[in-house]
């Protein structure tokens, strides 16, 4: 099963990237995939519980175990985890992944790779054809929100509001084109074509500099090192 890969180049010291991603309170601020992340104290290796709001009033919980290597001989840092959910409503049954922090001139290559097994049998595998790309997009969008926070001081909460407003403006623009075309032509095919063309143009427009966008992140590993899970994952 193909792993999800996302990489962002963040112009910030590795210590700040590590802190913003390893601290549960900071992590849930920028990562749209999680509503809560709660460490389970007194257990080694470190364990945590998480929850995700999938619909208003509907949360799905899960659990995980993780370990990190803050200092490695090659100057990089790594963090690995195994996770899963006992909630039968969760498409994800179990999975594993890693974060890698690679110092480069001017910042850090912050990257992740993860994969998971689904439940619900053939129906789950079919649902995952849509869910996996969406989950990858959410990961990339979150990574860019983290980048904006560390590079430009844009709080994650404000970045999410800005993204919502920009999306609303794009939808309004497409709707306006459709209404205008419909008012001057009786041909439904012409109106539909105009709306489709407007949609393509609006979606192709670059996001504002301080609005998070998944398209700014790399989605395929550039080398074998980036794609290879760290050895610490085998110990979990």
What CATH number matches the domain at 4-154+217-235, 3.30.450.20, 3.20.19.10, 3.30.1300.10, 3.30.530.20? 3.30.530.20
Average pLDDT over the chain, rounded to an integer: 90
Can you say how many angstroms the Cα of residue 172 is from the centroid of all Cα atoms in its chain? 26
Residue pLDDT, tens place only, 98-124: 999 999 999 999 999 999 999 999 999
How much is the pLDDT for 63? 96
Q: Where in the chain is the domain with CATH 3.30.530.20?
A: 4-154+217-235
Residue pLDDT, tens place only, 162-180: 999 998 988 887 777 777 7
Answer yes or no: are the C-beta atoms of 80 and 96 closer than 8 Å.
yes
How much is the pLDDT for 186? 60
Answer yes or no: are the C-beta atoms of 143 and 8 closer than 8 Å.
yes
Cβ-based neighbours of 161, under 8 Å, separated by 6 or more? none
Please give the Cα distance from 83 to 110 (Å, whole number).
20
pTM summary value: 0.90
Percent of the chain that is helix, strand, coil (3-state, to 5): 45, 30, 25
Q: For each successive 10 residues of the chain (236 residues), what is the average pLDDT?
A: 92 96 95 93 87 90 93 88 96 96 95 96 96 96 98 96 91 76 63 70 84 95 85 87
Can you say how many angstroms the Cα of residue 88 is from the centroid of all Cα atoms in its chain? 23
């Amino acid at each position: 099963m193909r792993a999800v890969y996302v990489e962002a180049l963040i112009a910030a010291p590795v210590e700040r990237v590590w802190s913003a991603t390893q601290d549960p309170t900071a992590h849930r601020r920028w990562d749209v995939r999680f509503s809560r992340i709660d460490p389970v104290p007194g257990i080694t290796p470190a364990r945590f519980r998480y929850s995700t709001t999938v619909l208003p009033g509907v949360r799905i919980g899960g659990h995980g175990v993780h370990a990190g290597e803050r200092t490695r001989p090659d100057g990089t840092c790594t963090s690995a985890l195994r996770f899963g959910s006992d909630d039968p409503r969760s498409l994800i049954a179990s999975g594993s992944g890693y974060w890698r922090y690679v110092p480069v001139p001017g910042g850090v290559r912050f990257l992740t790779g993860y994969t998971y097994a689904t439940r619900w049998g053939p129906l789950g595998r079919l649902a995952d054809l849509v869910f996996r790309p969406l989950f990858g997009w959410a990961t990339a969008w979150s990574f860019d929100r983290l980048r904006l926070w560390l590079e430009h001081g844009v709080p994650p909460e404000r970045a999410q509001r800005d993204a919502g407003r920009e999306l609303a403006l794009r939808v309004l623009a497409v709707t306006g084109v459709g209404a205008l075309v419909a008012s001057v032509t009786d041909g439904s095919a012409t109106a539909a074509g105009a709306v489709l063309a407007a949609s393509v143009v609006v979606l192709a427009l670059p996001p504002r500099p301080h609005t998070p966008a998944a398209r700014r992140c790399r989605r395929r590993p550039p080398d074998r090192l980036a794609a290879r899970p760290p050895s610490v994952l085998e110990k979990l």
